[in-house]
Structure 1
Amino acid sequence: MKTFLLVTLLVATASATLPKIGLFHPRERIINGQDAADGQFPYQISYQWGLLGFYQHVCGGSIISPTWILTAGHCVTEVPALGEYKIIAGITGLNENNADKQEINVIDKIVHPNFNGGVGPNDVALLRLATPLEFNDRVQPISLPAADSEPSGDTVLSGWGSISTSEFPEMPNQLQTADLPLLSLDDCSAAIDALLEPGEENPLSAESNVCTGPLSGGTGACSGDSGGPLAQDDTVIGIVSWGFTPCGSEGAPSVYTKVSNFIDFINENVSDLPK
C-alpha cells in the first residue's frame, strides 16, 4: 500500500510549470484524445480493482490469448494487495452493458523478474484469467511483434483517458484514442535529460523502452493508461509505462515498454497464443 500512495503523491505534487518524472499510475489517463468508436479496439481491456463488491478501473491491458492479458509491471506492484482484480473486455464505455461484454477474474499475475518497481526498465507483466475469453467482433487478441524488432512511424494509443492537461484529471467514461508519432531513442533521451533535476538519473533504456511525442505537448498518455497498448497495424509495440506530470507537457515524451524485447518472457509463460 505504501508504494501505491507514493505514486499518488508523485502526481498530486507535480509542478504546474516544470514537468516531473513519474509513473503513469491508475486513475489519470489519455490527454486530448478523442472518443473511440464502438468495437474499434477489441484487444483493449479495463483492469479493475475491487473491494467489498465495488470495482474501479486502475489500468489498461491487451488481450494476447484467450486466458492471458499483457500489461505493465507497475500495474501489479503499485496497486493495493488487498482486494480482488478482474478484467472487462468488449466495452467502449466503462459503464456500458452489451451482449459482448465479458468480466473475468484475474487468478495469477506474473511480473517480469527483472522489474524492480517504480520508474525503470522491464515494466511488463502478464495476467492469467480464471476462464478463457470468448472471441467475437468486440473481443479479439492483438498480434505480438517479431522478437527484437524496432518500431518506427506513427502509432495509435487507446485508454480510458483524461481530457485535462492540469494536475486534476477529468475522466470520461468513453474509451479514448490518440494518434502519436514515435520518437527516436536519442531524441527521447535528450528531451528527458532537459526535464530532469540536477543529478537525477535518466531511466530510459534502449533495450526496454520506446517513446512517443509530440514534444510540442498537448497530447499523450497519462496515468490510468498504464499497461495499455501502443499499437501499429493491430500489433502491440508498446505498453504504457511512465512519463512526466502534468501529462501532455511541452517537451515531455511518453515512455512505453518495448514489447519486441519481451517475446521470450511472453512465450515462456503463455501456452495458448494464437498461431
Structure 2
Amino acid sequence: MRLGLLSVALLFVGSSHLYSDPHSPSEKPRLGPSVEPAAGSRQAEAPRKRPGRRREGGAHTKDCGTAPLKDALQGSRIIGGTEAQAGTWPWVVSLQVKHGHVLSHVCGGTLVRERWVLTAAHCTKDASNPLIWRAVIGTNNIHGHHPHTKKIKIKAIIIHPNFILESYVNDIALFHLKKAVRYNDYIQPICLPFDVFQILDGNTKCFISGWGRTKEEGNATDILQDAQVHYISRETCNSERSYGGIIPNTSFCAGDEDGAFDTCRGDSGGPLMCYLPEYKRFFVMGITSYGHGCGRRGFPGIYLGPSFYQKWLTEHFFHASTQGILTINILRGQILIALCFVILLATT
C-alpha cells in the first residue's frame, strides 16, 4: 500500500515535467531588452484562458476589433477634435508615469491581448522602469471615475532591440500587464493587421484617438479626442516637398493633406485604427510615432506598421505563454513532491 501511494504520486510528478517539456524551447528566442522590477520573478504568469479565445501565444485573437457600444457605420462621420464617447474605442489605453504621488498621462497605447499593450518605443526614453508606469483602460476621461475602468501596473517593458531614437526606426514596444484584463463593453482588444495590411489605401476609413495636445502649442486634454484620417501614399509623404526621404521603410503617413486632422504631443504610441468592412472589424494598422509639428500642411503624422513586426510580436506573445505554462508545471511538481513526503510520513 505504501509503495502504491508513492508510485502514484511520483507518476504525477513525472507527468507534470513531461507536459512542460514540449513547451520549453531548447533555445530562447532572441528577444529585445526587457525592463522588469528588480525583485520578483522574470517568468511571465500564465495567461487566463477562457472559452472562445486563443491563448496569448497565438498570432491572432478570435474576438477582436469590435466595439460593442459603437456602430461602425454610424460612427464613421467623425470630425477632427471631437470628444470620443465612452466605449467608442475600447482598446485605447492611457499609459501614465508616477512622479511622486502624481500620475501623469505620457503616451497612448493599444490593447492587443489580455495582458499586452502595444505602444511606441520612444515613449520610454525618459522612463524605462516599469515600476513607475501604469495602464488605464476602459475610460474616455483619464481623471474620471468609471466602474469599468481598470488601472493596472506594468510587469515588464519590452523595447524593440533595434530601436533608434534619433531616426525613430523600429519605434515599437510592448507593455506586459501584471494581470490580465477582463473584457467588457468598455474594454476590448483590437485586431493585429498581420494578414490585412496590404488592403490599406486612401479609401480605407481610419481613425486616430488620444489625450494629447489639441493644437501644437496647446494643452493636453483629459477627455479622449478622435478624428477620421486617411492613408497618404509614400510617394507623396516622402517626397522632397514633405518629409524628403526620411521615413523608415516600416512606417507610413496618415492624416490629411491640409493638416486639419493630426496627432500631437501626448498621442504618441496610440493607434491608427482602420475599419475593414469585409471583416467587420477594426485593425491597428499603425502606431503613432512622430511628425513635423502638429497639423502642419504637407506634414501628416507618421505611423509605424505593426505588420512589419509580426515575428517579433508573436515571439513575445508565445514566450510569455509558454513561460507561464512552465511556471505552473514547476509549481505542480513541487506540490506533488511535498505530497510524497506527507504520504511517506503518514505511512511510516
Whether TM exceeds 0.5 here: the answer is yes
Tell me by how many angstroms 1:147 deviates.
4.4
Asked whether the 8 Å contact 2:133–2:154 carries over to 1, the reply is yes
Kindly provide the amino acid, as one letter, of the partner of residue 59 in structure 1.
C
Secondary structure of the structure 2 residue equivalent to 1:265? helix
Of residues 148-157 and 232-241 in structure 1, the stretch that sits farther from structure 2 once superposed is 148-157
Secondary structure of the structure 1 residue equivalent to 2:133? strand
Cα deviation, 1:167-197, whole Å, max 9, x if unaligned, reads: x22222110001001001111101xx3256x
Match of 1:204 among 231, 241, 247: 247
Decide whether aligned partners of structure 1 residues 148 and 260 sit closer, same or farther in structure 2, where only a CA change above 3 A counts.
farther
Deviating runs (4+, > 4 A) in structure 1?
none
Tell me by how many angstroms 1:104 deviates.
0.6
Q: Is the counterpart of residue 159 in structure 1 residue 210 in structure 2?
A: yes
Decide whether aligned partners of structure 1 residues 111 and 147 sit closer, same or farther in structure 2, where only a CA change above 3 A counts.
farther
Larger relative strand fraction: 1
Secondary structure of the structure 2 residue equivalent to 1:262? helix
Decide whether aligned partners of structure 1 residues 219 and 149 sit closer, same or farther in structure 2, where only a CA change above 3 A counts.
closer
Map of 2:75 onto structure 1 = none
Map of 1:115 onto structure 2 = 163
Match of 1:228 among 270, 277, 287: 270
Tell me by how many angstroms 1:257 deviates.
0.4
Alpha-carbon distance between aligned partners in 2 of 1:243 and 1:101, rounded to the nearest angstrom: 31
Cα deviation, 1:205-228, whole Å, max 9, x if unaligned, reads: 23x112113121222011211000
Q: Is the counterpart of residue 169 in structure 1 residue 218 in structure 2?
A: yes
Map of 1:90 onto structure 2 = 138
Cα deviation, 1:127-184, whole Å, max 9, x if unaligned, reads: 00111111111011111112483222231111113222x4x22222110001001001
Match of 1:241 among 285, 289, 308: 289
Kindly provide the amino acid, as one letter, of the partner of residue 169 in structure 1.
G
Asked whether the 8 Å contact 1:215–1:253 carries over to 2, the reply is yes
Kindly provide the amino acid, as one letter, of the partner of residue 211 in structure 1.
C
Alpha-carbon distance between aligned partners in 2 of 1:87 and 1:118, rounded to the nearest angstrom: 26
Identity among equivalent positions (%) equals 30
Q: Is the counterpart of residue 257 in structure 1 residue 257 in structure 2?
A: no
TM normalised by structure 1 equals 0.79
Q: RMSD in angstroms over aligned alpha carbons?
A: 2.0
Secondary structure of the structure 1 residue equivalent to 2:118? strand
Secondary structure of the structure 2 residue equivalent to 1:244? coil
Asked whether the 8 Å contact 1:147–1:262 carries over to 2, the reply is no
Decide whether aligned partners of structure 1 residues 261 and 54 sit closer, same or farther in structure 2, where only a CA change above 3 A counts.
same
Secondary structure of the structure 1 residue equivalent to 2:230? strand
Map of 1:44 onto structure 2 = 92
Alpha-carbon distance between aligned partners in 1 of 2:302 and 2:251, rounded to the nearest angstrom: 7
Tell me by how many angstroms 1:264 deviates.
1.2
Asked whether the 8 Å contact 1:60–1:227 carries over to 2, the reply is yes
Decide whether aligned partners of structure 1 residues 181 and 148 sit closer, same or farther in structure 2, where only a CA change above 3 A counts.
closer
TM normalised by structure 2 equals 0.63
Structure of greater Rg: 2
Asked whether the 8 Å contact 2:213–2:265 carries over to 1, the reply is no
Match of 1:80 among 127, 131, 138: 127
Larger relative helix fraction: 2
Alpha-carbon distance between aligned partners in 2 of 1:46 and 1:229, rounded to the nearest angstrom: 11
Kindly provide the amino acid, as one letter, of the partner of residue 307 in structure 2.
S
Alpha-carbon distance between aligned partners in 1 of 2:310 and 2:160, rounded to the nearest angstrom: 12
Decide whether aligned partners of structure 1 residues 148 and 137 sit closer, same or farther in structure 2, where only a CA change above 3 A counts.
closer
The structure, 1 or 2, with the larger RCO (C-alpha pairs under 8 Å, 6+ apart) is 1
Asked whether the 8 Å contact 1:74–1:118 carries over to 2, the reply is no
Kindly provide the amino acid, as one letter, of the partner of residue 248 in structure 1.
G
Alpha-carbon distance between aligned partners in 1 of 2:158 and 2:146, rounded to the nearest angstrom: 30
Decide whether aligned partners of structure 1 residues 148 and 91 sit closer, same or farther in structure 2, where only a CA change above 3 A counts.
closer
Map of 1:133 onto structure 2 = 181
Asked whether the 8 Å contact 1:121–1:203 carries over to 2, the reply is no
Alpha-carbon distance between aligned partners in 2 of 1:111 and 1:161, rounded to the nearest angstrom: 22
> Gaps (5+ residues) in structure 1?
1-30
